[in-house]
Structure 1
Amino acid sequence: MTPRPRLVACAAAGGAVGAVLRWSAGELAPAADGFPWTTFAINVTGSLLLALLPALALARGSRAWAVALGPGVLGGFTTLSAYAEEGRALLAGGSTGTALAYLLGTLAACWVAVLLGAAATRRQVPEEDLG
């Protein structure tokens, strides 16, 4: 299946916005104590927002907005590559405990954020509207 050019443009524009937001967060709050708090916060926040996205009427009512906000903005905002690289760097620097706390803690916190967001969405949106 070939994606429609309009949806590709929506994802690309949203992705650019999300990437700039992620970069800006890193500039405003760079890691200072050896733990990648900014990337941790970005990924947990992005996971929560992605799970809440179906509660947003705009995203439910428009495929273009759903694509722009979901895989676009939130896909550009969250970052598996920085998460993996920061974990690798911690391990390479001999900070095994911090690396494990970061890698496993991020997964656990993102999972909890998705569960909380999904539960909140189910409470706010009738099941038939979630599709």
Structure 2
Amino acid sequence: MSGQHSPALGEPTDPDIDLHVPAQRHGRQGPVIAVIAVGGALGAAARYGASLLWPTPSGEFPWTTLIVNAIGCAVIGIFLVVITDLWAAHRLVRPFFGTGVLGGFTTFSTYAADIQHLVATDHARTALMYLAGTLLAALGAVWCSAAATRRLISRRSR
């Protein structure tokens, strides 16, 4: 990350945009929004395809959503290491693939809705296992894939 922070909140800002550059403050967001929309549609279509191939019966553990989220998080870990440590990507690659495709593919809103549905249908134990399992799988997938990618990159550069 670039280390830029929002002066008001002390929070990180988007490293792809430097608000000190007038061209990046005004009017250049159209292409970014367009690639995010296209990527999001592709990612959501892939996720929907997975849900059709492996549907989850009511009250059952939502394995498809957990696996989709874990795979998406693993790819995010690989992708972010590659574009930050190895490859100087075009400015639209990260919004298209990272935010769009992978943001559309992973589905934490479905995760939350699945938990709510499981609790509402008296499957609280399954909901709790799903809540914890997805969190561990997603965070573990990002961490492991990013670490493995960094190791591979460092071996290649020796």
TM-score (norm 1): 0.87
Could you list the runs of 5+ residues in structure 2 that have no partner in the other structure? 1-24
Distance in 2 between the 1:119 and 1:74 partners?
Answer: 19
Distance in 2 between the 1:71 and 1:59 partners?
Answer: 18
From 60, 65, 75, the equivalent of 1:49 is: 75
- 2:96 maps to 1:68: yes
From 120, 124, 130, the equivalent of 2:152 is: 124
TM-score (norm 2): 0.73
Deviation at 1:55, TM superposition (A): 4.3
1:94-113 to 2 correspondences below 5 Å: 94-113=122-141
Query: What residue number does 2:14 align with?
Result: none
Distance in 2 between the 1:9 and 1:125 partners?
Answer: 31
Question: Larger RCO: Structure 1 or Structure 2 (Cα < 8 Å, ≥ 6 residues apart)?
Answer: 1
- 2:35 maps to 1:10: yes
Runs (4 or more) in structure 1 with deviation over 3 Å come to: 55-60
Distance in 2 between the 1:7 and 1:83 partners?
Answer: 27
Cα deviations across residues 51-104 of structure 1 (Å, max 9, x unaligned)? Answer: 110344697422211211100100000111100000001011111110000011
Deviation at 1:110, TM superposition (A): 0.6
| Equivalent AA in structure 1 for residue 42 of structure 2 | V
Does structure 2 conserve the Cα–Cα contact (< 8 Å) formed by 1:55 and 1:124? no
Deviation at 1:106, TM superposition (A): 0.3
Deviation at 1:125, TM superposition (A): 3.5
- Partner-residue secondary structure (3-state), 1:61: coil
Seen in structure 2, the aligned counterparts of structure 1 residues 59 and 30 have a Cα distance that, compared at 3 Å, is: farther
Which structure has the highest helix share of the two?
1
- Partner-residue secondary structure (3-state), 2:95: helix
Alignment RMSD (CA, Å): 2.0
Q: Identity over aligned residues, as a percent? A: 40
Could you list the runs of 5+ residues in structure 1 that have no partner in the other structure? 127-131
Distance in 1 between the 2:87 and 2:41 partners?
Answer: 18
Query: What residue number does 1:87 align with?
Result: 115
